[in-house]
Amino acid sequence: MTDMTETALHWGDVIRIATSANPAPPRRVEKSEAEWRAQLDPDQFHVTRLKGTEAPFSNPMCSVFEPGHYACVCCGTELFDSSAKFESGTGWPSFGAPVADNVVAYHIDGSHGMQRVETVCNVCDAHLGHVFPDGPTPSGLRYCINALALEKIADA
């Protein structure tokens, strides 16, 4: 992983990207709904393909802090490094930054009577969660990610 102080986005960057244009993804993975349903379990499908949210504190991944990486459960794209993970107390895995600026896409989300910024895998459009401006330095961001959208990959 690169040094977060050099590559981390800040809240103003996130809003600018979400309201203008996301970066080009490193590659694209596109499948039919039937293919996604065959690949994912029903809970993963609900979260990643239907923009669902798992219950807070429902997944043990929240308390996993061993070295490794977190990849998209749908396409395997590496999204987050464990060095950027922190305990937010929210009940979902939280990260300060993705591993690269082009692996996560941002969309303004006006659902549920509030304005938030949705995060999706930029490779396969899987719903990951949301990003908020209340995280730790250096980015000040909190990527609040559904554990069901992630696959933990141990360091080799």
What's the gap between Cα 25 and its chain centre?
A: 14
CA distance 3 to 43: 34
Find where tokens 């239907």 sit.
50
Beta strands in the chain (DSSP E): 68-72, 78-81, 85-86, 94-95, 104-109, 116-121, 127-132, 142-145, 150-154
CA distance 21 to 5: 23
Peptide bond into 136 cis (omega under 30): no
- Enzyme catalytic residues: 144
CA distance 43 to 148: 7
